[in-house]
Chains A and B, each alone.
Chain A
Amino acid sequence: DAGVTQSPTHLIKTRGQQVTLRCSPKSGHDTVSWYQQALGQGPQFIFQYYEEEERQRGNFPDRFSGHQFPNYSSELNVNALLLGDSALYLCASSLLIYGTGETQYFGPGTRLLVL
């Protein structure tokens, strides 16, 4: 059973460009969350997708957008890249269970460097 997978593993872009990161959730999971982790910091929540809709959003600008497909995989898009967008981008999947909390399983991340 494959866990959460992300692609690509590393990416180098220049300021102003656009980037798309991809995530496949763990088998049986229906919810995907995206996080940004700057060096030496804890991950920060970007947004969460469930049933192909954005369910919850953290404090990130509209330059950050996403999508979830019918097979539950997800994409994170970042437009007009800034130097400060350089970070490890983590995808996490879970099974939505109302009335209780659920474990989030994380992928290995995509390391984005903006020059």
Chain B
Amino acid sequence: KQEVTQIPAALSVPEGENLVLNCSFTDSAIYNLQWFRQDPGKGLTSLLLIQSSQREQTSGRLNASLDKSSGRSTLYIAASQPGDSATYLCAVSRTTDSGGGADGLTFGKGTHLIIQP
């Protein structure tokens, strides 16, 4: 059974700092890995998706890496801003038993991030 762990559970840093959020998963047979952002009481916003054949993806100040063999991913946020405050969730999918397409996502519990002005 796939298990996803995110460290740290919570993080508070001053504005402007660069930071790294960590995600690990137990089963390396994944289709892809996604990073999401969730604001309090809201739905999820997709930030980055890394296919299993890729090593990293970048979008603006965000960079996500994937190391399938070690079962790890990191989300790097550069020059953090108060608007980055949210919960960041890591999720992985794997192939369905029928061998076609990706199945439901398995999520970690998230990292609650606070950026202090």
Contact = CB atoms under 8 A, between A and B. Distances in A.
Contacts of A58: 104
Interface residues of A, number: 35
B44 A100 contact: no
A44 interface: yes
B107 A42 contact: yes
Nearest to B52: A101
A25 B5 CA distance: 29
Interface in B14-56: 31-32, 34, 36, 41-46, 49, 51-52
A101 B49 contact: yes
A23 B91 CA distance: 21
Nearest to B54: A101
A47 B103 CA distance: 9
Given A42-B109, A101-B51, A48 B104 contact: yes
Contact of B43 (A31, A48, A109): A109
A100 B104 contact: no
B117 interface: no
Interface in A80-106: 88, 90, 92, 96-106
Interface string A35-62: 1000011111111101000011010000
B110 A42 contact: yes
Given A41-B109, A42-B4, A33 B104 contact: yes
25 contacts: A4-B43, A33-B104, A40-B109, A42-B109, A43-B44, A45-B105, A47-B104, A48-B103, A48-B104, A55-B103, A96-B100, A96-B101, A98-B100, A99-B100, A100-B32, A100-B51, A101-B32, A101-B93, A103-B34, A105-B46, A106-B46, A107-B43, A108-B42, A109-B42, A111-B41
Interface of A: 4, 31, 33, 35, 40-48, 50, 55-56, 58, 88, 90, 92, 96-109, 111
